Amino acid sequence: MPSLDFEREEARFRAFHDQNLPRLQEACASFIALLTALLTPSGPVDVAKVEGRVKDKEESIRKFTRKYRPALEEANEPYEIAPYITDLIGVRVVCLYEDELEKVAHLVRSHFDVMDVTDKVAAVENTEASFGYKGLHLDLRLNATERALPEHAAYADHAFELQVRTIIQDSWSVLDHKIKYKKSIPGQLKRRINVLSALFELADREFRQIRDATEAELLQAPDETAEALPETGVQVVEKTPTAGSELNAFTFLKIANHFFKDFEFEPSKVDSFVDDIQSWSSGMTRSRFNALLRETIAVVKRYKLHFEEQNPQGSFNPYTVIRHCLYLSNNIAFRPALRNVAREAFEAWLQEHGRT
């Protein structure tokens, strides 16, 4: 029965925690697994990590003492500690971008009942509160459908707190907890902390805007005219060089996707490959790159057929095709595009079959 005897309730909570710890840890692991499956990499949210923990019993008692005990004892209201520790099981989802916090909240509603939501982002708007406490906190439990499943029976009635943060918010939270004095401090020091938190907030915003700008650039309709290769019928892009016609990851993709329509170019590989091209021939423009491919790809594709006949297990993917096109266009500037063995084999084939 609840009481006003803190030492008794403290002892009862410690016993409760010790007795239920294995079951709480199992429930925590199950919630993490369910959320991880829900927030899959192929879904609408970029999740950096999903992690969780069972709150330490001493930390739980300190939280109760700080937040709830004074008001309960002032009101002469008997209590038990456990019901007030709503984050006894805590799970954290760390997203890449700030606008994904609400997306996570929307997704979890399909499997969980939301008992309470604390929007830490809204709570600190127009205040000097610590940036580290931004994010969404949701008190959750499995919904009726999930609770009815046999695999969830052992922890069907357990509630937990879900924290949803960005990587930047999570990083600031860790650093923020290392700052021992933040309130009763000189104004100059407080301003420095506020400036630092603002820089973290700016970084969060910039990452999101860079993502949006990248997606907009990739979706932007080409402004070039198309010309078809007589042999392949592939549409290629041609444009008169201008100051803004550099070959970069975006312009590379617009051209390469015309030549290799069924190939998925990975961003990280494209980024490195274009950087290599520029290191081999500085000042490469999109129009020069396009013309280079258009002039050489027919020969390289014939060599590709020869190579695959001779090497059934070998790989001659679009990057390899482009490397050979570069080398064929200028075997001095683009010598590094091919390794010695590949270069010698290609040269031997060219001598035997010619370039046309």
Task: Give Cα separations from 134 to 11, 116, 217, 284 (angstroms).
Answer: 34, 16, 30, 45
CB 86 within 8 Å of CB 121: no
**Residue 180 or residue 10, greater confidence:** 10
**Among 138, 159, 186, residue at a domain's last position:** 186
Residue 58 maps to a domain: yes
Strand order of the β-sheet with 159-166 is 47-54, 89-95, 159-166, 136-142, 112-119
First to last CA, the chain: 92
Query: What average pLDDT does range 192-208 have in this prediction?
Result: 89
My answer on whether 271 and 152 are in the same domain is no
Q: Is the pLDDT of residue 169 over 70?
A: yes
**pLDDT 10s digits, 135-146:** 889 999 999 998
Residue 22 maps to a domain: yes
Residue type, 212: D
My answer on whether 135 and 28 are in the same domain is yes
pLDDT given at position 23: 92
CB 107 within 8 Å of CB 38: yes
Give CA 3 to chain center in angstroms: 48
pLDDT given at position 228: 40
pLDDT given at position 120: 58
Q: Is the pLDDT of residue 123 over 80?
A: no
For the chain, the domain total comes to 2
Reported as a pLDDT band with limits 50, 70 and 90, residue 238 is very low
Query: What average pLDDT does range 246-254 have in this prediction?
Result: 90
Task: Give Cα separations from 351 to 229, 269, 346 (angstroms).
Answer: 24, 32, 9
Query: What average pLDDT does range 303-321 have in this prediction?
Result: 93
Reported as a pLDDT band with limits 50, 70 and 90, residue 353 is confident
My answer on whether 60 and 157 are in the same domain is yes
My answer on whether 54 and 176 are in the same domain is yes
Residue 276 maps to a domain: yes
Query: What average pLDDT does range 331-346 have in this prediction?
Result: 95
Residue type, 20: N
Q: What are the beta bridge partners of residue 235? A: 228
Query: What average pLDDT does range 42-58 have in this prediction?
Result: 87
My answer on whether 168 and 21 are in the same domain is yes
CB 134 within 8 Å of CB 164: no
pLDDT given at position 355: 59
pLDDT given at position 181: 75
Query: What average pLDDT does range 49-78 have in this prediction?
Result: 94
Reported as a pLDDT band with limits 50, 70 and 90, residue 45 is confident
My answer on whether 14 and 147 are in the same domain is yes
Residue 48 maps to a domain: yes
My answer on whether 70 and 144 are in the same domain is yes
Domain holding 179, by residue range, is 6-186
d(CA 275, CA 233): 29
Residue type, 190: K
My answer on whether 41 and 145 are in the same domain is yes
**Among 140, 165, 186, residue at a domain's last position:** 186
**How is 60-90 classified by DSSP, letter by letter?**
HHHHHHHHTHHHHHHTT--B-SGGG-TTSEE
pLDDT given at position 11: 96
Residue 229 maps to a domain: no
pLDDT given at position 42: 56
Residue 216 maps to a domain: no
pLDDT given at position 225: 38
Residue 223 maps to a domain: no
My answer on whether 255 and 162 are in the same domain is no
pLDDT given at position 233: 45
State how beta strands 159-166 and 89-95 pair. Answer: parallel
Q: Is the pLDDT of residue 206 over 90?
A: yes
d(CA 260, CA 308): 17
Reported as a pLDDT band with limits 50, 70 and 90, residue 226 is very low
CB 253 within 8 Å of CB 270: yes
My answer on whether 10 and 139 are in the same domain is yes
Report pTM: 0.69
CB 95 within 8 Å of CB 45: yes
Reported as a pLDDT band with limits 50, 70 and 90, residue 227 is very low
Classify 50 in phi/psi space as left (phi over 0), alpha (psi -120 to 50) or beta: beta
Instruction: List the CATH number of the domain containing 120.
Output: 3.30.460.10
Tell me which of 77-91, 120-134, 222-236 is least confident: 222-236
pLDDT given at position 222: 52
**Residue 71 or residue 117, greater confidence:** 71
- The burial class, CB within 10 Å (0-12 / 13-18 / 19+), for 97 is buried
Q: Is the pLDDT of residue 1 over 60?
A: yes
Average pLDDT over all residues of the chain: 85
Q: Is the pLDDT of residue 216 over 90?
A: no
Tell me which of 99-103, 181-185, 222-226, 264-268 is least confident: 222-226
My answer on whether 169 and 26 are in the same domain is yes
**Among 147, 164, 186, residue at a domain's last position:** 186
Residue 255 maps to a domain: yes
Query: What average pLDDT does range 92-97 have in this prediction?
Result: 93
My answer on whether 161 and 255 are in the same domain is no
Here the tokens at position 245 are 């016609």
